[in-house]
Structure 1
Amino acid sequence: MSTGIGVAARPIRVMLVDDHPVVRSGYRRLLEQDADIAVVAEAGNGEAAYALHGQHAPDVCVTDLSMPGIGGLELLRKLIARDAGARVLVFTMHDTPQLIARALDGGACGFVSKQADPEHLVEAVRAAHAGRRYLDPHSAPGVRHDTAGAEMQRLSSLSQREFEIFRLLAQGRSAADCARLLHLSSKTVANHQTCIRDKLDVAGPAALVHLALRHRVIEHIHP
């Protein structure tokens, strides 16, 4: 016999990953305006996010790309490697066609620019939870952008691992930093460095940094 009392649907459980606590607080308030979304974990870097994702198993992980330590693309790679069903939504200022394509190719279920209207983040979380890919109106044209330029082609030739090492090196990280942050041997990083220089056709560190800045892979050099 039915009691006539409905059972409330479980809210969408979200993890926020951004290195700015004030920014995370704003996103939390935005997402939790509606009762169907609950933020269950927050992290300020990729290493902490990877651990917390394993502990909390959120329905959707919303991550920035540029953070101390491993970036959002490497976090995405690690999460998908551990759980092919992980739903990772990229929410970032770094909204170039190159990075959008990298994120989607790496398994992200959506991409939202921080320049988009706030409601697009809420829509994206719901879409990701429902198993749908989401691109906000600001980012969508970038995916269709013509990337035939020689430099863009060279950037596209980098593997996901090479791209993450390239990003760290361009920020001013040393090879030893890359090995420590990505849990690789020094020899492996050295081999990747050689491949990166060859593929990008850069003569030295300065040229590598200028290339990264030109294509907005980074916005500043790590102090």
Structure 2
Amino acid sequence: MSGSATLRIGLVDDHAVVRAGYRRLLELEGLEVAAEFADADGAYAALAAPGDCPVDLLILDLSLPGRSGLELLRRLSVRRAELKVLVFTMHDGAAMVRQCLRAGAAGYVTKSSAPEELVDAVHRVWRGERALSADVADAAAALAEPAPHLKLSTREFDVLQALLRGAGVEEISRQLRLSAKTVANYQTLVRQKLGVANAVELMRYAREHGLAD
């Protein structure tokens, strides 16, 4: 495995001030930040382009304008399987952790973690290890039995996330590039599989399972 001096890191976060803080933290540890991106589409265009990937490890926030970080993770896992992705986010629910790991994330650290925990996670992921911050490791372990939302398909989970953000059918249709009828069908399937009848019950379910902020 290459040493950390050769590791090229990419940052995906929609807040420039936050990215600047990450860059400063990592550079103080002798790590190189080779690229920064403010949204998923920009990151995908740069990282999935033909030729050598400009970064070796991506630190990815999940809450982004437009496409979510989770969708970017899924797309990159297909086009750039060699790229290591470390999720760094506010979301600490076990369901989101499992979705990201299933999508190919090599690590998952929450933004409530100490700065040194992020740096340690970068080194661990680069060594080929899985890195989970203590809070999400405990949350994931607590789900011994799969909850209903863990049985959702990838696209159903995308629709669920959008619904929890308050998006309507038309907005979700544009975001996911699906017809409104298809989105409405997914919405019905999600409610059926989760055993909820309306938006209020859906939000209650989401809070109980750590899916809502």
TM range (shorter): 0.7 to 0.9
Tell me, yes or no, if structure 1 residue 66 matches structure 2 residue 63. Answer: yes
CA shift digits 1:18-59 (9 cap, x unpaired): 122211111111111133x21122222222222232255311
Using structure 1 for the length normalisation, give the TM-score: 0.83
Tell me, yes or no, if structure 1 residue 118 matches structure 2 residue 115. Answer: yes
Query: Is the contact made by 2:48 and 2:80 (CA closer than 8 Å) also made in structure 1?
Result: no
Q: How many residues align?
A: 208
In 1, Cα distance between equivalents of 2:15 and 2:174: 23
Structure 2 CA distance for partners of 1:41 and 1:120, relative to 1, 3 Å: same
Tell me, yes or no, if structure 1 residue 158 matches structure 2 residue 158. Answer: no
In 1, Cα distance between equivalents of 2:91 and 2:58: 17
Tell me, yes or no, if structure 1 residue 128 matches structure 2 residue 122. Answer: no
Q: CA deviation at 1:108?
A: 0.5
User: Counterpart of 1:218 in 2: which secondary structure?
Assistant: coil
Using structure 2 for the length normalisation, give the TM-score: 0.87
In 2, Cα distance between equivalents of 1:86 and 1:13: 11
Query: Is the contact made by 1:106 and 1:160 (CA closer than 8 Å) also made in structure 2?
Result: no
Map 1:137-156 to 2 at 5 A. 137-148=134-145, 153-156=147-150
Q: What amino acid does structure 2 have at the position aligned with 1:89?
A: L
Q: What amino acid does structure 2 have at the position aligned with 1:192?
A: Y
In 1, Cα distance between equivalents of 2:203 and 2:135: 27
Alpha-carbon RMSD across the aligned residues, in angstroms, is: 2.1
Q: CA deviation at 1:114?
A: 1.2
Q: CA deviation at 1:110?
A: 0.5
176, 185, 201: which is aligned to 2:179? 185
Query: Is the contact made by 1:112 and 1:139 (CA closer than 8 Å) also made in structure 2?
Result: yes
Q: CA deviation at 1:130?
A: 2.4
Tell me, yes or no, if structure 1 residue 27 matches structure 2 residue 22. Answer: yes
Aligned to 1:43: 37
Any gaps of 5 or more consecutive residues in structure 2?
Answer: none
Give the helix-richer structure, 1 or 2.
2
Q: What amino acid does structure 2 have at the position aligned with 1:202?
A: V
Q: CA deviation at 1:10?
A: 5.1
Any gaps of 5 or more consecutive residues in structure 1?
Answer: 1-7
Aligned to 1:17: 12
Aligned to 1:202: 196
Aligned to 2:77: 80
Stretches of 4+ moved more than 4 A in 1?
A: none
